[in-house]
Amino acid sequence: SQQGEEDPQALSIQEGENATMNCSYKTSINNLQWYRQNSGRGLVHLILIRSNEREKHSGRLRVTLDTSKKSSSLLITASRAADTASYFCATGGETSYDKVIFGPGTSLSVIP
């Protein structure tokens, strides 16, 4: 299975601190994506990193990808209470016929 697995399952930090979440996967991928979910409803896409990229930034988000270790990390800098949500990594296979599979997610709580 290409499924991603996030680590830790839950994370609680103080506002202003940085939050780091990790994702590991099992098979070759075309890209890896991170999503955010508030209140158990629809997910929102945060960032996509392709297999030939090692690092990508978007605002306070920094994503790294290590294909040799089949792992990725999501760093949220200077966290805010509004960052409280569940974060999921998703891996896309190498062809358009490969479905995108989500990991179980990391629940982040940012305490004001």
Contact residues for other proteins (CB under 8 A)?
Answer: 30-31, 33, 35, 40-45, 48, 88, 90, 92-105
Closest of 76, 60, 64 to residue 108, by C-alpha:
76
Residues in CB range of 77: below 8 A, 6 or more apart: 18, 60, 61, 62
Nearer to other proteins, 34 or 83 (CB): 34
C-beta of 90: minimal distance to other proteins in Å?
7
C-beta of 67: minimal distance to other proteins in Å?
15
Nearer to other proteins, 62 or 102 (CB): 102
C-beta of 2: minimal distance to other proteins in Å?
11
Q: Classify residue 98 by burial, with Cβ atoms within 10 Å: 0-12, 13-18, 19+.
A: middle
Nearer to other proteins, 13 or 100 (CB): 100
C-beta of 91: minimal distance to other proteins in Å?
8
- Amino acid symbol at 65: L
Closest of 89, 101, 69, 82 to residue 2, by C-alpha:
101
